[in-house]
Amino acid sequence: MKKQIVLFIFLIIISYAGKTQEKQGFGCYTDRDVYISGETVLAKIFTPKDNPSRIVHIDLINKQGTRITGGSMEISNNQADGFLELPDSLSSGTYLLRAYLKNTAAQLKIIREIWITNRFEGLEKTNQMNRATASEKIQEKATGQISIEGVAPKYQTNTPIAASIRIDPTLGKEIDGNLLVCIAQTNPGFEPAAFAWKSDQSGTSLSESKGVILSGTVTDKKTQAPAPGITVYLTIPDSIPGFQYYTTKNDGHFYFLLDKYYGPVEAVVQCFGNNPVQRLKLTLEDHLSKIGDLPKFTSQNIPEDFKNSISANIEAITLQKIFGQEKELVMAPPVRKREVYPYYGMPTVTVDPKLFIDLPNFNEISKELLHGVKYRNFNNEPTLQVINTPMHNFFEEAPLILLDGIPIRDLNLIKDLSSADIDRVDICQTERYYGDLRFQGVVAIYTKKADSSRIPESDQLIRLNLETIQVSASLAPTPPLAPNIPDLRQIFYWNPKVDPAQTLSVNCTTSAITGKFKLVVRGRLKDGTLIFTEKQFEVN
As a whole number, mean pLDDT of residues 427-437 equals 95
Q: What is the 3-state secondary structure (H, E, C) of 254-271?
A: EEEEECCCECEEEEEEEE
Alpha helices in 197-338 (DSSP H): 304-322
Among 263-277, 278-292, 309-323, the range scoring the smallest mean pLDDT is 278-292
What is the predicted pLDDT for the residue at 359?
95
Q: Give span(s): CATH 2.170.130.10, the chain.
A: 349-456
Q: Which of 19-23, 362-366, 532-536 has the lowest mean pLDDT?
A: 19-23
Domain 349-456 part of CATH 2.170.130.10: yes
Q: How far apart are CA 307 and CA 305, in angstroms?
A: 5
Residue 96 predicted with pLDDT over 70 = yes
- 4 has a pLDDT exceeding 60: no
Report CA dihedral (122, 126, 128, 129) to the nearest 10 degrees. -30
Instruction: Compare 335 and 462 and report the one with higher pLDDT.
Output: 462
Beta bridge partners of 439: 432
Whether 211 contacts 249, CB under 8 Å? no
Contacts of 129 (CB under 8 A, 6+ apart): 93, 94, 115, 190, 299, 300, 301, 302
Regarding pTM above 0.85, the answer is: yes
Listing DSSP states for 32-99 in one string gives -SEEETT-EEEEEEEPPTT---SEEEEEEEETT--EEEEEEEE-BTTEEEEEEEPPTTPPSEEEEEEE
Residue 530 pLDDT: 95
Mean pLDDT score, 100-119: 84
Lowest mean pLDDT among 6-10, 77-81, 154-158, 171-175: 6-10
Q: What is the pLDDT of residue 22?
A: 44
The predicted structure's pLDDT at residue 326: 66
CA–CA dist 469, 120 (Å, integer): 32
Average pLDDT, the chain: 88
pLDDT mean over 88-110: 85
Reference 398, options 412, 390, 413, 408; nearest CA is 408
Q: What is the pLDDT of residue 12?
A: 41
Q: CB–CB of 264/466 below 8 Å?
A: yes
Confidence of residue 15 (pLDDT cuts 50, 70, 90): very low
Cβ-proximal residues to 475 (8 Å cutoff; 6+ apart), any chain: 42, 328, 329, 330, 491, 493, 494, 495
